[in-house]
Amino acid sequence: MARRALLGTALCAGLVATLLTTGPARADHRDDAWTVSAPAAHEPTAHIRLDDTTGTVSLSVTRRGRTVIEPSPVGIVTEQADLSEGLRFLHRKDRLVDERYRAKSGKRLDRRVRMNETRLSFATPTGARLDLVVRASADGVAYRYVLPGGYGAVLGETSAFNLPPDASAWLGAYRVDNEGQFAQYTAATAPTGEYSDQALFETDGGYTLLAESDLTGDYSGARLAHDQGTGTYRIELADDRVQADGPLATPWRAMVTGDLATVTRSTFTDDLAPASKVPDGSWIKPGTVLWTWLAGGREAGQSLAAQKAYVDYAAERNWPYEAVDAGWYFKAGEWDTTDPDWQTNSWMPELVDYARAKGVGIIVWIHQRELDTPEERAQWLPTLERWGVKGVKIDFMDSEAQPMLRWYDAVLAETAAHHLMVDFHGSTLPKGIQRTWPHVMTLEGVAGEEKRTNTAAHLTTLPFTRNVIGSMDFTPGAFQRVGLRPNSDAAEVGLTVAYESGLQMFAGTPESYDRRPLARAYFDQVPAAWDDTRLLTGRPGREAVLARRGGDRWFLGGVYAGAARTAEVPLTVGPGRWLVETVEDGADGLVRNRRVLRGGDTFAVEVVANGGFAGIACRWRPGVTTCHR
């Protein structure tokens, strides 16, 4: 049933799909080569070719006539059928996918999807059937395999991506928690090993971010395998055998493609995913969060008094949420969940009531092992809902193997049923999950603020890699971690905009905010849901300046790596006159600068080594002196 539902995605509410052709391809007049182009002119085109001698299929991508992905193998192997060679062409079907949907978080809330889709059907000499479904949109190309069933477990894919050897590459070493640091290579010089499938390359055709979408427990998570000296990146699955009990549609192998601004702004992986499974999302509310782990550690999590003090601070600042991290449900061994009276003994209901009276919602941390069985979830989730908890931060999944992905399928449905927003840590990557399950507000899957090994270059790469595919719980704002983070205070403020997260967790201490009133005032203003996103300027590993619109104001976040410089920032947020207020590094701490500019003007920011800035731009007219409200 799950696969039938997946294959029926085209019939879900809100989808407008127009069947254009049935039968052999009309445009190509050949049975061994096909093209699939985006509806917009001059945008990505997929080229699919069948080798008449070997029966193998390859796929390449061009953009404006230039190479994006060189011809690369496609195919899948199961216990009963090798669907990677000996194939013959059967027929082709084309359609236009035209959708509108509204997200709860992300780079923009209102989304429009237009993709051309082609389904190419092939068969082996024994009659085994493989459908290759290819989509092309203005910002990407993707493909997936569809099998009718009865072929047994999947043993692997022959899918790979061939890049020009000299293509610039930004890669993160693969880890089960997806917290590898990004580093720059060329496609061929990257060391032999496994890499995250969120890999960014620069070719003649522009930038391309490899990604995955619509990953569920029906399949297995992917990573990239590479041999130094080649430009080939192979798909490897987390499981040696992927159980397939019926018809199978694999996740999308996605290539987010365009200039750097297009890739950064793209919602392609969300657009490929199925529509929302949450019928009423009125309870899902993004927001900023006072996070207490880096502020006070487990000791704070074990103290009702400490948590009430944090709630008081969040209420004073009008921050909508406070997050209680590890420690709260195993307080110094006095009680735990093996105690039949643990729900009665917990002080969490008192904290939730206290916070509610002050207009603050509570989010709680919980280890995945407390939720790994249906019985445990039936104990925990209704209890948290009854207490009035707004969301859960679930930690330490550390796997993308099929059994864990099936756990995700279960917990996603159950947390939605109990009106609990979700923040996943030690987790998979977004991969379209936030469209299908919009109560997933953010995921870690990043070497974030907790890591002591971060570099400024890594920080400037994240907007173009990990954060492209969905919300990222980096947890900025840890001003107290002097010497443990590579960037300046102004850059730390800028991260709250440069990085998008539906729950933006501030990782500092109240004392560190109070010592930086300009940062604190900025945090009071910054939203966690955006109406639009634009890249103002950037280069992975060097600099990233993003503008995100909340209502009629644009918030600016800039992060830089390397030596101090005078940075030039184009204000490409619309015509007219704008007041731009920036928070920058000064000789004695943070300073505020104000400028009145016209849309399209360029302004200068003095950036310290590994520095940055934050800003707000609002419409200017005589008498307007600040963008703060």
3-state secondary structure 560-578: ECCCCEEEEEECCCCCCEE
Both tokens assigned to 477: 């704002």
The total of other beta-carbon atoms located within 10 Å of residue 59's CB is: 26
Counting runs of H as helices and runs of E as strands, what totals does the chain give? 14, 37
Beta-sheet strands, E only, within 124-166: 129-137, 140-147, 154-157, 160-162
pLDDT at 338: 63
- Measuring CA to CA, which residue among 478, 155, 474, 419 is closest to residue 294? 478
What are residue 435's phi and psi, to 5 degrees?
A: -80, -45
Which amino acid, 255?
M
Which amino acid, 394?
I
Q: How far apart are CA 275 and CA 284, in angstroms?
A: 16
pLDDT at 40: 86
151 and 80 Cβ atoms separated by less than 8 Å: yes
pLDDT at 183: 95
Both tokens assigned to 603: 């302004």
Q: How far apart are CA 555 and CA 531, in angstroms?
A: 11
377-383, Cβ contacts within 8 angstroms, sequence gap of 24 or more: 377/410, 377/411, 377/414, 379/337, 380/337, 381/414, 381/415, 381/417, 381/418, 381/420, 382/418, 383/343
- Measuring CA to CA, which residue among 28, 85, 79, 83 is closest to residue 51? 85
Burial 192-213 (b: 16+ CB within 10 A, else e): eeebbbbbbbbbebbbbbbbbb
Q: Is residue 524 annotated as part of the catalytic site, yes or no? A: no
The total of other beta-carbon atoms located within 10 Å of residue 24's CB is: 14
By three-state DSSP, how is residue 559 classified?
Answer: strand
pLDDT at 2: 36
Counting beta carbons within 10 angstroms of the beta carbon of residue 230, is it exposed (0 to 12), middle (13 to 18) or buried (19 or more)?
middle
Counting beta carbons within 10 angstroms of the beta carbon of residue 483, is it exposed (0 to 12), middle (13 to 18) or buried (19 or more)?
exposed
- Measuring CA to CA, which residue among 116, 182, 180, 118 is closest to residue 144? 118
Q: How far apart are CA 431 and CA 99, in angstroms?
A: 19
Q: How far apart are CA 32 and CA 544, in angstroms?
A: 43
Q: How far apart are CA 234 and CA 225, in angstroms?
A: 5
Counting beta carbons within 10 angstroms of the beta carbon of residue 336, is it exposed (0 to 12), middle (13 to 18) or buried (19 or more)?
exposed
pTM over 0.85: yes
48 and 132 Cβ atoms separated by less than 8 Å: yes
Place of tokens 């890999």: 199
- Strand pairing class (589-598; 577-586): antiparallel
Out of 212, 395, 500, 581, which one is annotated catalytic? 395
pLDDT below 70 — which residues of the chain? 1-30, 330-344
* Helices 402-417, 374-387: inter-axial angle, 10-degree rounding: 30
Q: How far apart are CA 214 and CA 198, in angstroms?
A: 15
Q: How far apart are CA 196 and CA 180, in angstroms?
A: 8
Q: Is residue 450 annotated as part of the catalytic site, yes or no? A: yes
pLDDT at 302: 84
By three-state DSSP, how is residue 131 classified?
Answer: strand
- Measuring CA to CA, which residue among 251, 118, 128 is closest to residue 197? 251
**Percentage helix, strand, coil for the chain under 3-state DSSP, each rounded to 5:** 20, 40, 40
Out of 70, 270, 322, 450, which one is annotated catalytic? 450
